[in-house]
Amino acid sequence: MGFLYDAIEKAKKEIILAFDNHECDYSPYLDIVNHVQDELHSPLHAAAYYLNPAIYYNPEFSMSNVVQKGLLDCIETLEPDVADQDNITRHKAFYEDAVGDFGRPMAVRGRETLCPATWWSMFGSDHPNLQRFAVRILSQTCIMTTSDRACNANAYLHSSKNRLEQERLNDLKFVRYNLHYQQRQFWYSNFLWHSYFLF
């Protein structure tokens, strides 16, 4: 779940780089990404972004106000006991500074290779309230399906008033769907090829 915020932020950076930092060129595309991000925003996504060790310990991680507020909202919502809330906020400093088991060489290697919930289960045992909170959040899945996203994207594209912008967005949508189809076909062909040789 924490990968959603990271993917959106990376997409924004890539869009800006693709247009050589010319704001007038990339702003329509960034508006679409920001619109999708606003639709998908939830405190759970922000907290999962923070609690995902592969993302948090990456040097490119940035703790924005949105992420901080989302994390605090989740702590207040998911932990009704005030003592547990205080315990989690006090112990998150150990996670931030990679103290104790969080800093073990095995934990450092596991940041990129283990599922985030598994990583917390293995290395968060010194801080049980924080561990339980992190596993609860990171074990959840995103439920928006591809067809839901396609419907939302189509509704947004066709709400545009500018004809040239709408044509450009339709072209972008066409390329996106073809790329998705091509990737899916590539995956299926590789999957069938490998499964054929496994038996």
User: DSSP per residue over 45-82, as a string?
Assistant: HHHHHHH-HHHHTSTT----HHHHHHHHHHHHHH---H
Q: What is the pLDDT of residue 40?
A: 67
pLDDT score of 199: 45
Mean pLDDT of 99-107: 95
Interval 47-61 mean pLDDT? 90
Q: Report the predicted TM-score, pTM, of the whole model to 2 decimal places.
A: 0.61
Q: What pLDDT, on a 0 to 100 scale, did the predictor assign at position 145?
A: 43
Mean of the per-residue pLDDT values of the chain: 80
Under the banding of pLDDT at 50, 70 and 90, the label for residue 22 is confident
